[in-house]
Amino acid sequence: MAFVFAAAGVLAFTTRHSGGDATTTSVSPEFVVECTWSHRAADDPIVHPGHPGAAHMHDFFGSTSTDATTTAADLLGSQTSCQTLADTAAYWAPTLYLGSEAIDPSRLFAYYRRPPAIDRTSIQPYPLGLAVVADDVAWHCGASDDLASEPISCSRTAPLTLRVAFPACWNGRDLDSTDHHSHVSYGTDAGCPSSHPVGLPELVLDISYAFAGEPSGLRLSSGAVSTAHADFLNAWDPAQLADRVESCLQQGARCGPPPLRAVD
């Protein structure tokens, strides 16, 4: 079950079924973090830990000190490009190029939502150091919910945006796995599978780029645009994260931006 969100207004989610995708619009409990672009480097502390320059080029958000040797302990309390200072987690994605020219991302919205199929009282905060690579992606323009599998033509007022949805179910044991996927899982309409019984917040990233116009010629540092993905290394202040999970997700509220309001 992968939930897809917009950068503003009413948010939409897409639920994956074996027979195909069905899109529904819903307001769900959430908390949101806005981050500016921090830096660019050919580093990846999840896939290539301890090997500077071994990865394809990435754009980093969140902790400004993320590099190839970074651990979650290193990130705790570090400087962050996010408006929420308690969020010193690291987010990164392959660099977008037009030909040989790198396109700078303008901002990232991190949406942490309560998946509808998971009981509110059972949702747990991410454990410190949880590392995940996600490749459930879509492209859209600005705050639009018109999603596409590849980049589309966008205007300057509604720039090209990459959306990446992360799994919300965890096996309860491992902070990472060999493939950086199998310790977590997307759920189903019935909730989390028995192999991954711990419900987590549903993280969805919207990464906007300083790009408008025809998308022909776009590529990623990882290859074709079909190789889009994003990485997350949790280093939130544990107490602050737990408070947001309780007061926003478990209590059924949307916490800014937009302003806090009860939804159920």
pLDDT digits (tens, 9 = 90+) for 157-175: 999 999 999 999 999 999 9
Specify if 7 maps to a domain: no
Domain assignment present for residue 5? The answer is no
Instruction: Flag whether 75 is in a domain.
Output: yes
Instruction: Check residue 257 and give its pLDDT.
Output: 59
Check if the beta carbon of residue 103 is closer than 8 Å to that of residue 250. Answer: no
Residue 6, domain member (yes or no): no
254 part of a folded domain: yes
pLDDT value of residue 143:
87
221, 95 Cβ separation under 8 angstroms = yes
Spans in the chain with pLDDT lower than 70:
1-27, 257-264
3-class state of residue 122 by DSSP:
helix
pLDDT for residue 260: 42
Say how many domains are in the chain.
1
Q: Which domain holds residue 103?
A: 12-262
Residue 52 domain flag? yes
- Per the domain annotation, does 4 fall within a domain? no
**Stretch (H or E) spanning 243:** helix 238-244
Using alpha carbons, list the distances in angstroms from residue 259 to 97, 145, 242, 246. Answer: 35, 21, 19, 17
Q: Three-state DSSP class for 249?
A: helix
Q: Order of strands across the sheet with 198-199?
A: 184-185, 169-170, 198-199
Answer yes or no: is 24 within a domain.
Answer: yes
List the structure tokens of 33.
């973090």
| Furthest C-alpha separation in the chain | 49
